[in-house]
Amino acid sequence: MFHKPLGAFVFLMGVIGILAVAQSASRSVNAAGLLASSQTPTPTCGPSTTPCKYIPLPEPKQIKFDQAAVAKIDLKGFPIVPTITSNVSAIYAEALRRGNNPRVFSKIGDCITATPNFLESFYRKDYALDRYVSLQKVIDYFSRVPARGNAAEFDSFGNPGLAAISGFNAAGVLDPIWSDPKWCKADESPLSCEYRVSKPAFALIMFGTNDLKSIKPDEYDFYLRRVIVQTVNSGVVPILSTFPTQPGLTEKSVLYNQITAGIAVDYDLPLINLWLALEPLPNKGIDPENPTHMTKPQSGQSASLAEADLQFGYNVRNLVTLQTLEAILKVVDPDGLK
């Protein structure tokens, strides 16, 4: 996989002005009293909209960021595995219309995503489902389908991805300087390159671990919105995720996760609440010797879903990711899981 040290780059991201988090439609975010902003798209789905209609999203604008309102978002009010709304079906239909592969997903993120411990074991058939045997249908759905065209070596589980790189933040994935020249065009960002090359119907997106150390909250909000808008406008279903609490940065971790949750609500997108799933775990699922990585069993079997192994961060992330993919497929392609 292609890696470049981000070093000084991530500290140069403070050039963007004061930006925005917009209103939320969930009960937890409504309780925070967030107000609509000019960068939040007009909802195209709802009780009065049947069927839900796909409409390309406008680029986010730089407006005043209301951190106090965002800080009222109750992260514990979001389930670990999301409820799937009709907006997902609308984006999925657009994916099919564009010829994106319904049996391919992309992995977008930093080192917690760009690791063999996240999903790769399902490609290598080195996993144990234990009591979660229903997830075998999800694994079968995406297995053996090349993730970069018919000649690709990997399926989605094994594909290292062109937009999942150690050191990434939400700004870096949009910058062509970090693209792999073997696969990507000149002036093509890692995100654009990944979507063009892999043509996925879904994207697993998690940032925050590096962002809270390198860019301000308003910048994180702005760049993550840009990632979401580009994803939806590429006909790809974004599956957002909160990220693990960083040791010594608990309050900041909560704030950046609140931003993530608010964005998921604003755009009516599924959110895996990994933060909540990891809270009861020892060290909150984070490796104390390397806090930018999660824990795994001594056996190294990060894809074991046995009860004893679900005390480790990567194992839990693998479980809730498969459960979320299952929830989505039950809505968009229920026959595919039979």
The DSSP annotation for 8-76 comes to GGGGG-TTS---------SHHHHTTT----TTSPPP--BTTBSS----PPPPP------HHHHTT--GG
DSSP label at residue 245: P
pLDDT band at 15 (very low <50, low <70, confident <90, very high): very low
Token readout for 146 is: 């090349």
Measured CA to CA, the distance from residue 273 to residue 63 in angstroms comes to 27
Q: What is the mean pLDDT of residues 2-16?
A: 37
pLDDT band at 20 (very low <50, low <70, confident <90, very high): very low
pLDDT band at 50 (very low <50, low <70, confident <90, very high): low
Closest CA to 170 of 117, 244, 233, 230: 230
Q: Tell me what pLDDT residue 42 has.
A: 46
Q: Tell me what pLDDT residue 23 has.
A: 30
Within a domain: 83: yes
Is residue 25 predicted with pLDDT exceeding 60? no
Q: Tell me what pLDDT residue 211 has.
A: 98
Measured CA to CA, the distance from residue 158 to residue 212 in angstroms comes to 28
Within a domain: 8: no
Measured CA to CA, the distance from residue 270 to residue 264 in angstroms comes to 7
Instruction: State the residue range of the domain holding 138.
Output: 17-337
- Domain of residue 94, CATH code: 3.40.50.1110
Is residue 6 predicted with pLDDT exceeding 60? no
Q: Tell me what pLDDT residue 44 has.
A: 57
Is residue 18 predicted with pLDDT exceeding 60? no
Within a domain: 213: yes
Within a domain: 3: no
Residue 262 CB burial class (10 angstroms; 0-12, 13-18, ≥19) = buried
Within a domain: 260: yes
pTM: 0.88
Is residue 26 predicted with pLDDT exceeding 50? no
Closest CA to 319 of 281, 263, 264: 281
Q: What is the mean pLDDT of residues 103-121?
A: 98
The 10s digit of each residue's pLDDT in 176-235 is 999 999 999 999 999 999 999 999 999 999 999 999 999 999 999 999 999 999 999 999
**Among the listed ranges 8-12, 55-59, 71-75, 262-266, which one has the minimum average pLDDT value?**
8-12
Is residue 58 predicted with pLDDT exceeding 50? yes
Q: Output the DSSP codes for 83-127.
A: PPPHHHHHHHHHHHHHT-EEEEEEEEESTTTSSTTTTHHHHTT--
The 10s digit of each residue's pLDDT in 254-266 is 999 999 999 999 9
By DSSP bridging, strand 271-272 and strand 237-241 are: parallel
Mean pLDDT for all residues in the chain: 88
Structural domains in the chain (count): 1
Token readout for 102 is: 């319904």
pLDDT band at 306 (very low <50, low <70, confident <90, very high): very high
Q: Tell me what pLDDT residue 62 has.
A: 84
Residues 6+ apart with CB under 8 A from 12: none
Q: Tell me what pLDDT residue 52 has.
A: 82
Q: Tell me what pLDDT residue 49 has.
A: 52
Within a domain: 10: no
Q: Output the DSSP codes for 159-209.
A: ---SSB-TT--TTGGG-GGGS-TTTPPTT--HHHHHHHHH-EEEEEEE--T
Is residue 77 predicted with pLDDT exceeding 90? yes
Within a domain: 5: no
The 10s digit of each residue's pLDDT in 139-178 is 999 998 999 877 778 999 999 899 999 999 999 999 999 9
Token readout for 195 is: 């979507």
Report the chain's C-alpha Rg in angstroms: 18
Is residue 92 predicted with pLDDT exceeding 90? yes
Q: Tell me what pLDDT residue 338 has.
A: 87
Within a domain: 4: no
